[in-house]
Amino acid sequence: MQRAAALVWRGCCPRTPGPWGRSQSSAAAEASAVLKVRPERSRRERILTLESMNPQVKAVEYAVRGPIVLKAGEIELELQRGIKKPFTEVIRANIGDAQAMGQQPITFLRQVMALCTYPNLLDSPSFPEDAKKRARRILQACGGNSLGSYSASQGVNCIREDVAAYITRRDGSVPADPDNIYLTTGASDGISTILKILVSGGGKSRTGVMIPIPQYPLYSAVISELDAIQVNYYLDEENCWALNVNELRRALQEAKDHCDPKVLCIINPGNPTGQVQSRKCIEDVIHFAWEEKLFLLADEVYQDNVYSPDCKFHSFKKVLYEMGPEYSSNVELASFHSTSKGYMGECGYRGGYMEVINLHPEIKGQLVKLLSVRLCPPVSGQAAMDIVVNPPVPGEESFEQFRREKESVLGNLAKKAKLTEDLFNQVPGIHCNPLQGAMYAFPQIFIPRKAVEAAQAHKMAPDMFYCMKLLEETGICVVPGSGFGQREGTYHFRMTILPPVEKLKTVLQKVKDFHIKFLEKYA
């Protein structure tokens, strides 16, 4: 039948008798008739639809890679096709991806990674001995002496030992136990994992997770995915985004009416706000967590990014121990670090760790079980994390070059932080707090009433409308403050300070020119 139908389609049916005494043309005609009367098969309904999918996944939002970034991608494709725009490139100032913005990798880190990835280079005279020493140590701890093997679910043992030694040095001899160290796929993986084992209950007993507003959208996304209850506490914008314990108490008391708040998240230095918590503030937060029986999460991935001469990074672990055994033996704390930020900017390796202290022994077993489901974090990322916590030391061959490169990166970031703050504060209708740390500005912007109405007509948040216009008219991609959370009636955007100085000056000038025109248009 198929052959007959095909002959009809090609219009070439010879009228010769077939093997059953019928002409091929009559057989083709029969086949054609059968095909015409056979009902078309209706397409089966999809099993997975927006209505049938996991509603918690549908509720997840991640502004840093949200609609405005998709629009930026569309504009880049249009530029590639030769479509004329008032600009020649899209500047992605939406995300803290240092090397994508032109920051050069740290030589020593890449040398060790090259040696670990291709061990034949260990015989090359082109690599320094201190890099070879670290590479050999890492490889000897890997199955088959290869980064391509799985590691233990908690991470390569010698790397966890190096992380513990780093924490001890950082915190002035406060002890760290390698058994409390868990290597992770970036800090995000650690945060998601620890929240998974913390969230439980239903109804009014469902776990509440206290997060700062503004926040890094990972937190709200994971809370949505786990169907936990988000409990907002607001940072004090008028006081350089300080954390006020009275605000924590307000948020906690209000949340107790509808959930069971048992987790308190702190981001220090802050993202997107760039504030660095004082030691007194950290002590107050720890006391509050101890008093209210809260599990503390300390996101400390920007611990190397402190620029203000009046500020210093204090780890929650160090302050906790220095407050005495009543606190250090009882407050449950998970703290996080990463290869992605700091002076390293190695986002793509996805290296990170978490240190979890005062965890119940039985829960520790449950955590290791949960981690074992994903087998292990990327071993290359674990190796990158090792180099971060075990860099060259004085007297080693690579130390001077490493020191110069690290100081250069952090020094440039400090200059750009000050430059950004100063230039934004020269623009009418923009106010930017000091960028004490991290790698972002989060200025407050004035949006006129007519612009708010125009945004509503487009079914957009006002600051999304503003950022979309900024992108379409200048090619600059920033993230609206509504994606991070903000007080009602205020508007912001987050912009990274990572572009090279001259490009950053151009970006800031374009934002200034756009903002002035925007105010005039919607006055």
Can you give the residue ranges of every domain in the chain?
A: 55-102+401-522, 107-390
Percent of the chain with pLDDT over 90: 78
Given a contact cutoff of 8 angstroms between Cβ atoms, the answer to whether 206 and 413 are in contact is no
The residue written with tokens 């200048």 in the block is 474
Tell me, what's the pLDDT at 33? 58
For 341, the token pair is 């930020």
Classify strands 430-431 and 444-445 as parallel, antiparallel or unpaired.
Answer: antiparallel
pTM: 0.86
Tell me, what's the pLDDT at 451? 94
**Of residues 80, 101, 104, 217, the one with CA closest to residue 476:** 101
Which amino acid is it at 225? E
Quote the mean pLDDT of the chain. Answer: 90
Query: What fold does the segment set 55-102+401-522 form as a domain?
Result: Aspartate Aminotransferase, domain 1 (3.90.1150)
Percent of the chain with pLDDT over 70: 90
Whether the pLDDT of residue 382 is over 50: the answer is yes
Tell me, what's the pLDDT at 19? 44
The predicted-structure confidence for 204-240, as pLDDT tens digits, reads as follows: 999 999 999 999 989 998 998 899 999 999 999 999 9
**Calpha distance 314→200 (Å, rounded):** 31
**Calpha distance 343→437 (Å, rounded):** 12
Radius of gyration of the chain from its Cα atoms, rounded to whole angstroms? 29
Domains 55-102+401-522 and 107-390 share a fold: no
The predicted-structure confidence for 99-148, as pLDDT tens digits, reads as follows: 988 899 999 999 999 999 999 999 999 999 999 999 999 999 999 999 99
The predicted-structure confidence for 6-61, as pLDDT tens digits, reads as follows: 443 444 444 445 444 455 556 556 656 555 555 556 778 887 777 777 777 777 66
For 168, the token pair is 């001890």
CATH number of 107-390: 3.40.640.10
**Of residues 48, 44, 9, the one with CA closest to residue 29:** 9
Tell me, what's the pLDDT at 53? 72
Tell me, what's the pLDDT at 41? 65
Whether the pLDDT of residue 259 is over 50: the answer is yes
The predicted-structure confidence for 289-312, as pLDDT tens digits, reads as follows: 999 999 999 999 999 999 999 999
Whether the pLDDT of residue 372 is over 90: the answer is no
Tell me, what's the pLDDT at 37? 57
**Calpha distance 66→77 (Å, rounded):** 17
Tell me, what's the pLDDT at 288? 97
The residue written with tokens 């890449």 in the block is 110
Tell me, what's the pLDDT at 47? 79
Tell me, what's the pLDDT at 48? 77
Tell me, what's the pLDDT at 52? 74
Cβ-proximal residues to 380 (8 Å cutoff; 6+ apart), any chain: 113, 116, 117, 147, 349, 351
The predicted-structure confidence for 457-505, as pLDDT tens digits, reads as follows: 999 899 999 999 999 999 999 999 998 999 999 999 999 999 999 999 9
Tell me, what's the pLDDT at 9? 42
3-class SS of residue 297: strand
Given a contact cutoff of 8 angstroms between Cβ atoms, the answer to whether 508 and 124 are in contact is no
Give the CA-trace dihedral at 284, 286, 288, 291, to 10 degrees: -130
Tell me, what's the pLDDT at 15? 47
Tell me, what's the pLDDT at 95? 85
**Range among 54-58, 342-346, 353-357 with highest mean pLDDT value:** 353-357
**Mean of pLDDT values over 150-168:** 94
